[in-house]
Amino acid sequence: MKIQNILAVPISFPVPPEHSVTLGIGRSVKRDAVLVRVETDQGLVGWGESHHGRCPGAIAKLLETTIKELAVGLDPMDVVSVGSKIYRMQIASHGMGAAAALALSGLDLALWDIRCQATGQPLYRLLGGSSRPIKAYAGGISLGWQDPASLAAEALGHLDKGYKALKLRVGDTPQRDIERVASVRKAVGDSIDILVDANTAYSLEAVRQTMPAYRELNVGWLEEPFPAQDYYCYEMASRFATIPLAAGENHYTRYEFEALLNSRTVGYAQPDLSKTGGLTEAMRIAAMASAKKISVNPHTSATAVNMANSIHYLCALDNSGYFEADVTTLNPFRDKLCSALPYELDENGCVSPLEGQGIGLEVDLEFIKKHPLIEGPCYV
């Protein structure tokens, strides 16, 4: 079997003002994704998702030109060789770096989909795992910067749906961040896990100011206080942090994760299957984290394809942590793109992998046609 063709489809939908969320990277105005379709000479077709990189047209163009030229003719079952070639020619030297990692991620997910079809197995089984419940937290583009009372009301709404954990968006001013977290803690009580995400918007001084309060409010982690490359600030903050730091959604390939894990600054690893190099690379990253007794809590991307893959991935790890459930009020990429929802929450606040072949979903081609690329930034 050979890879015969690769198609990349950038898709978008506008976010109405009443559904917009403000967080550390701006206010959401649209949602983007890049779907990757791999066709083989034996008729099997696999689907993956590349993160949009805030420039979905460019990621799609890279996939349909250079990445396609490198991959067509290769064995789709040999995911290691395909990934190694893309890494060598586009990531390691004189290539597109992070953009190529995003592109490879969607390709790799599609290749695993083909492997599942060829064997008739669910993804978690091919990865060496089993179907089991995975604890989930209410996340996605939600629980953002707003009046503390309305934020608390939103949080309670997620608890009513069965969530036992949720993630708040911080990165505003220390005072307003603390007020919001305190309001939610008072509303939800002590038994609910609260996590916070600064989306790289904090300074060292902001971490110093918020840490005592986050500790008192029993916050589980502070996610991405700084950009991924800012190892100095992560090291400095880890010295006075009183709750664990979390990072990884903006780290690409196992090589960047090796530096992150060896820095001893984070307590939770957060690779994104649509960013870090796909499932093949994410399994390597999970093994590296396991050796350091660090759990893996993957960041989820825009569509049901990534979300379902992430649950199957967690079911194959011995150090699986949380699944990030997307509780965004409006996300047709989650609800309408595929033949079913990517997950359902059980009474214990957990999710399980879909059964059937691969990730248990089929992509709706008509939906794709109705959601063409919208140019411009997704956050302002």
Show pLDDT as tens, one digit a residue, over the chain (380 residues). 999 999 999 999 999 999 999 999 999 999 999 999 999 999 999 999 999 999 999 999 999 999 999 999 999 999 999 999 999 999 999 999 999 999 999 999 999 999 999 999 999 999 999 999 999 999 999 999 999 999 999 999 999 999 999 999 999 999 999 999 999 999 999 999 999 999 999 999 999 999 999 999 999 999 999 999 999 999 999 999 999 999 999 999 999 999 999 999 999 999 999 999 999 999 999 999 999 999 999 999 999 999 999 999 999 999 999 999 999 999 999 999 999 999 999 999 999 999 999 999 999 999 999 999 999 999 99
pLDDT for res 143? 98
Spatial neighbors of 160 by CB under 8 A, at least 6 apart, are: none
CB-based contact 308:353 (threshold 8 Å): yes
* Calpha distance 102→62 (Å, rounded): 10
How confident is the model at residue 175, as a pLDDT? Answer: 98
Backbone angles phi and psi of 214, in degrees to 5: -65, -35
- At residue 162, the pLDDT reads 98
**Any idea how long the chain is?**
380
Phi, psi of 101 (to 5 degrees): -65, -40
Domains of the chain (ranges plus CATH)?
3-120 (3.30.390.10), 125-365 (3.20.20.120)
Cα 182 to Cα 185, 217, 306, distances in angstroms: 5, 7, 32
**DSSP code per residue over 144-160:** -SS-HHHHHHHHHHHHH
What pLDDT score does 215 carry? Answer: 98
pLDDT of residue 30: 97
Residue 115 structure tokens: 């492997």
